[in-house]
Amino acid sequence: MRKAIIAGNWKMNKTPDEAKALVEALKPLVAGASCDVVVCVPAVDIAAAKAAVKGSKIKVGAQNVHFAASGAYTGELSADMIKAAGAEYVIIGHSERRQYFGETDTTVNQRTVAAVKAGLKAIVCVGESRAEREAGYTDALVEYQTLIALTGLDKNDLKNIVIAYEPVWAIGTGLVATDEQANETIGVIRAAVARKYGKAAAGKLRIQYGGSMKPNNVKGLMAQPEIDGGLIGGASLKAEDFAAIVNYDK
């Protein structure tokens, strides 16, 4: 069985001091969690978060990584840098980066390869817009996004990959995919991975749902057989809400 993984995506929120306070509030609340727990924080908060998670099972992640090892890329951070700062995970290809910062399937792939080769665990985001769903392109799109993101990686690398299925229309909108919709699309992603990497590897790959996941809808989503966790935006900024999601099985 796949171990569930619940990750917070803090997006552009919290200073280092605020990050420390949020992690410290979270620690006792998630001490009994049976899933993996990750907080993906702004890069300037990684060191503070890493220090604050000490003695707990919470892991720290970043929200982006550059594909080059070093060089003239003003404003970017390499995988070695974020790893040295204390990150074990990194979110790659979030729809906000695709929408606002020109991230493409190709750069998502380059960043994913760089992250995995550097020893980070990559949380790779895929998902359709409302127009794409209404036009009937969801399955084709998420397959394509997933397989391109993984190009150049072999099946042994999949243990360092988490896919986050985040329908763009459900992010920050309060609209959540139905349990069945999320399960079905995640099943499509897993089937595509199985065709390329084999059933065994795909069966071990963890695939999260993200998009308005909250304490009041997490149980239904997590009861679905294909859904292995969540990538949580807004609700990850409040310790009680995030902890309630992490403790969905209690």
User: Applying CB under 6 A, which residues contact ligand 13P?
Assistant: 9, 94, 166, 171-172, 210-213, 231-235
Nearest distance from C-beta of residue 183 to ligand 13P, angstroms: 18
Nearest distance from C-beta of residue 188 to ligand 13P, angstroms: 20
SS3 54: coil
Q: How many other CB atoms are found less than 10 A from the CB of residue 32?
A: 11
CA distances from 60 to 136, 156, 225 (A): 36, 23, 27
Task: Return the number of the residue (210 or 229) whose C-beta is nearest ligand 13P.
Answer: 210
C-alpha span between 75 and 88 (Å, rounded): 21
Closest CA to 7 of 118, 123, 96: 123
C-alpha span between 67 and 195 (Å, rounded): 27
Nearest distance from C-beta of residue 214 to ligand 13P, angstroms: 8
Nearest distance from C-beta of residue 200 to ligand 13P, angstroms: 28
Q: Beta strands 229-232 and 121-126: pairing type?
A: unpaired
Task: Return the number of the residue (126 or 153) whose C-beta is nearest ligand 13P.
Answer: 126
Structural contact between residues 177 and 216, judged by C-beta atoms closer than 8 angstroms: no
Question: Nearest residue to ligand 13P, using CB?
Answer: 233
Question: Exactly one of 103, 128, 143, 166 is catalytic; which is it?
Answer: 166
66 labelled catalytic: no
94 labelled catalytic: yes
Which regions of the chain does DSSP assign to beta strands (E)? 5-9, 36-40, 58-62, 89-92, 121-126, 161-165, 206-210, 229-232
Instruction: Classify residue 139 by burial, with Cβ atoms within 10 Å: 0-12, 13-18, 19+.
Output: middle
Nearest distance from C-beta of residue 235 to ligand 13P, angstroms: 6
Question: Exactly one of 66, 94, 103, 143 is catalytic; which is it?
Answer: 94
Task: Return the number of the residue (92 or 235) whose C-beta is nearest ligand 13P.
Answer: 235
Nearest distance from C-beta of residue 170 to ligand 13P, angstroms: 6
Task: Return the number of the residue (14 or 197) whose C-beta is nearest ligand 13P.
Answer: 14
Residues forming a β-bridge with 209: 165, 230
Task: Return the number of the residue (63 or 138) whose C-beta is nearest ligand 13P.
Answer: 63
Structural contact between residues 248 and 218, judged by C-beta atoms closer than 8 angstroms: yes
Task: Return the number of the residue (170 or 193) whose C-beta is nearest ligand 13P.
Answer: 170
Supply the residues annotated as catalytic. Answer: 94, 166
